[in-house]
């Protein structure tokens, strides 16, 4: 009698897969490999924006998105962050960059609360790809509902998020950085969290995509940064002078007035 894993491997043909790759040869090669593995429902896109458009118009979403990390325009990490809220079950990242950098990228992507099946270097290892798809199929047969996943899947409207901004429900969270030689904290990374009145603490995946699409992201950056500067001033007054890292949306970085605004807040 075949094992569950063997049965799963033989049943990957019904998966629906989106390939996101800006190099035409690599894109066509990967589509061909997937077709060779018996997967007929494969769509492809040449860049992140085109892939998001495919997701918007798709019926039922995709089981897996296979995405290159390095693409012109919207890179793979930014695409995955946005696609995580658009009916994509899992992600596989592929790139020609060094394996150590792939591991770093994997850690970053997991921080976006995405389900990663793994990373693939180029050229693609067909057997490893098949194993990842089999794992995806296996996980679909196992019921798994957590508070975090239900929060991520819930859609929060721009109106709801706008009211939350007015009520100052978005707060900065500080992740400490340590000196490896001394073990002493020497900095902090500022992260945004939503203190939702009924759902509790929500991660960025629950609100950042909507904020970006509704032109609310600059307001969040301004609010969080203002609060962070107040905290930094208070730390300085007690002799705790440490560096602080700030995460900004690519859309915020396109706002030419933002550097002046951040400079005003720092001087304050």
pLDDT of residue 165: 92
DSSP 151-187: HHHS---HHHHHHHHHTT-EEEEEEEEE-TTT--EEE
pLDDT above 80 (res 81): no
For residue 205, the 8-state DSSP code is G
pLDDT of residue 123: 73
Higher pLDDT, 64 or 146: 64
pTM above 0.85, yes or no: no
Average pLDDT score over residue span 136-145: 58
Mean pLDDT of 225-252: 82
pLDDT of residue 18: 92
- Judged against a pLDDT cut of 50, whether residue 40 lies above it is answered with yes
Q: Are 89 and 95 in contact (CB under 8 A)?
A: no
Give the Cα-Cα-Cα angle 89, 157, 51 (nearest 5 degrees). Answer: 40
For 94-113, what is the mean pLDDT? 60
Kindly state the percentage of the chain with pLDDT values over 70: 82
Residues β-bridged to residue 99:
none
Q: What is the pLDDT of residue 153?
A: 45
Domains and CATH numbers, the chain: 4-144 (3.40.50.2300), 149-267 (3.20.20.450)
Q: What are the Cα distances from residue 82, in Å, to 38, 234, 249?
A: 29, 35, 12
- Whether 196 shows a pLDDT value over 60: the answer reads yes
| pLDDT at 229 (0 to 100) | 82
| pLDDT at residue 128 is higher than 70 | yes
Residue 106 burial (10 A CB sphere; 0-12, 13-18, 19+): middle
Q: Of 242, 235, 226, 253, give the one whose Cα is nearest residue 172.
A: 226
Higher-pLDDT residue of 147 and 44 is 44
Instruction: Please say if the pLDDT value at position 216 is more than 50.
Output: yes
pLDDT value, residue 163:
93
Residue 75 has pLDDT above 70, yes or no: yes
């Amino acid at each position: 009698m075949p094992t569950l894993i063997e049965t799963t491997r033989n049943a990957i043909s019904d998966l629906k897969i989106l390939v996101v790759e800006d190099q035409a040869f690599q894109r066509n090669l990967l589509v061909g490999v997937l077709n060779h593995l018996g997967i007929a429902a494969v769509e492809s896109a040449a860049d992140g924006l085109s892939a998001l458009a495919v997701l918007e118009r798709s019926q039922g979403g995709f089981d897996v998105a296979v995405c290159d990390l390095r693409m012109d325009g919207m890179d793979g990490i930014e695409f995955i962050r946005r696609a995580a809220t658009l009916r994509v079950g899992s992600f596989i990242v592929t790139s020609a960059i060094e394996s150590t950098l792939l591991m770093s990228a994997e850690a970053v992507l997991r921080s976006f609360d995405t389900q990663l099946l793994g990373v693939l270097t180029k050229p693609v290892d067909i057997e490893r790809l098949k194993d990842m798809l089999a794992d995806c199929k296996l996980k679909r047969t196992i019921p798994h509902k957590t508070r975090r996943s239900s929060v991520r899947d819930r859609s929060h409207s721009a109106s709801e998020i706008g009211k939350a901004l007015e009520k100052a429900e978005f707060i900065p969270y500080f992740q400490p950085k340590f000196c490896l030689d001394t073990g002493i904290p020497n900095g902090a990374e500022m992260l945004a969290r939503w203190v939702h009145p009924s759902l509790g603490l929500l991660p960025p995946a629950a609100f950042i995509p909507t904020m970006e699409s509704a032109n609310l992201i600059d307001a969040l950056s301004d609010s969080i940064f203002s609060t962070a500067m107040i905290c930094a001033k208070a730390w300085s007054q007690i002799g705790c002078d440490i560096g602080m890292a700030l995460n900004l949306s690519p859309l915020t970085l396109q706002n030419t007035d933002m550097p002046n605004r951040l400079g005003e807040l720092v001087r304050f």
